[in-house]
């Protein structure tokens, strides 16, 4: 009975007309607000889409990386993207000018060429790089993770390597291969990670590379000097061979104690300069 009385008292003081007016006013206000908000969203989306489409038309690379010039799916700095964009433009000029080397040589001397390295966490701020997760299980550990990537280098001489290691506070690691000839001690070469020379000319290793569909060629001397070359129509004569035990015995055992490499392979090359067979040993992380 008490509930019924309370309900009667409520309707006694309830003004139906006032309720209808306030409800109508609120409904109209909400309709105007959401209509305005939707119009703003549509206009913003259209403007953003137009701006983005125009930007992508002039920079298709942005489809693959938000930083102009950076390689697809990489963790990459703006500084590297800027240099790589100039590098790609120079490669296209090189291709259009029927493999004229002048531009590439000048670029290599001033900025370098992409040089593959190993990376560790903690790269100092302000340094240029592009890197990816390593595909090797060996490197995917919390204790000592490694990444793959590259920076632009003009030389890999002993002085330049020391300078780069100091600049990057030892968060990068260079890749080395070892040349064996007769019973002599192995001769180390600093080369790009996961690259294999197509031939040997004396004490120089010759590499064939590709970027954005453009083929280019360079050589690295035993001293670490990089020199651009005109692409050759053929690769030198080489074959994969079992690594001779006597050569493996000459290698420093610490090579496999840094958690970078898990094995090695050997190739026998016909040295174009000396007309002799020369063996190169390549450490690898995974296949």
The pTM (predicted TM-score) of the whole model is 0.76
DSSP β-ladder status, 175-180 and 172-173: unpaired
Do 172 and 249 lie in a common domain?
A: yes
Task: Kindly give, in sequence order, each residue whose CB lies less than 8 Å from that of residue 75, ignoring residues fewer than 6 positions away.
Answer: 130, 131, 132, 149
Residue 233's pLDDT is what? 61
Do 144 and 170 lie in a common domain?
A: yes
How many domains does the chain contain in total?
2
Tokens (6 digits) for 104:
């590439």
pLDDT tens string 155-191: 999 999 999 999 999 999 999 999 987 777 889 999 9
Mean pLDDT estimate for the chain: 80
Which of these, 230, 227, 234, 231, lies nearest to 270 by C-alpha position?
234
CA–CA distances in Å: residue 22 to residues 35, 44, 91: 20, 33, 71
Q: Please list the alpha-helical segments (H only) found in 59-172.
A: 78-96, 102-110, 158-167
Mean pLDDT over 92-112 rounds to 91
Mean pLDDT over 74-102 rounds to 92
Domain region containing 165 = 75-284
Do 35 and 153 lie in a common domain?
A: no
Asked whether residue 200 is domain-assigned, the answer is: yes
- 259 or 114, which is more confident: 114
- For residue 155, the 8-state DSSP code is B
pLDDT exceeds cutoff 70 at 36 = no
| The residue to which tokens 């595909």 are assigned | 135
Task: Kindly give, in sequence order, each residue whose CB lies less than 8 Å from that of residue 25, ignoring residues fewer than 6 positions away.
Answer: none
Q: How far apart are CA 68 and CA 74, in angstroms?
A: 12
**Is residue 119 very low, low, confident or very high in pLDDT (cuts 50, 70, 90)?**
very high
- Name the least confident of 54-63, 153-162, 210-219: 54-63
Q: What proportion of the chain, given as a percentage, has pLDDT over 90?
A: 54
CA–CA distances in Å: residue 61 to residues 69, 127, 183, 224, 240: 7, 22, 51, 32, 38
Asked whether residue 23 is domain-assigned, the answer is: yes
Question: How many Cα atoms occupy the beta-carbon half-sphere of 287 within 13 Å?
Answer: 4
Do 23 and 108 lie in a common domain?
A: no
Asked whether residue 124 is domain-assigned, the answer is: yes
């Amino acid at each position: 009975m008490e509930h019924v009385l309370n309900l009667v008292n409520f309707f006694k003081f309830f003004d139906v007309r006032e309720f209808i007016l306030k409800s109508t006013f609120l409904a109209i206000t909400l309709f105007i607000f959401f209509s305005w908000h939707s119009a703003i969203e549509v206009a913003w989306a259209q403007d953003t889409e137009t701006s983005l489409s125009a930007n992508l038309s002039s920079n298709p690379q942005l489809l693959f990386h938000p930083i102009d010039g950076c390689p697809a799916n990489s963790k990459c700095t703006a500084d590297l993207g800027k240099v790589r964009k100039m590098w790609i433009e120079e490669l296209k000029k090189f291709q259009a000018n029927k493999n004229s080397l002048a531009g590439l040589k000048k670029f290599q001397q001033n900025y370098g060429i992409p040089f593959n390295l190993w990376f560790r966490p903690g790269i100092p701020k302000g340094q240029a790089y592009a890197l990816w997760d390593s595909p090797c299980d060996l490197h995917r550990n919390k204790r000592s993770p490694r990444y793959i990537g590259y920076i632009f280098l003009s030389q890999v001489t002993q002085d330049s390597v020391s300078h780069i290691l100091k600049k990057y506070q030892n968060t990068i690691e260079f890749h080395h291969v070892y040349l064996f000839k007769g019973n002599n001690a192995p001769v180390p070469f600093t080369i790009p990670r996961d690259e294999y020379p197509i031939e040997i000319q004396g004490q120089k290793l010759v590499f064939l590379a590709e970027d954005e569909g453009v083929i280019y060629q360079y050589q690295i001397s035993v001293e670490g000097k990089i020199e651009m070359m005109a692409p050759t129509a053929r690769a030198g004569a080489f074959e994969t061979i079992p690594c001779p035990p006597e050569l493996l015995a000459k290698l420093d055992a610490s090579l496999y104690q840094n958690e970078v490499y898990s094995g090695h392979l050997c190739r026998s090359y016909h040295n174009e300069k000396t007309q002799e067979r020369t063996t190169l040993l390549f450490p690898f992380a995974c296949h």
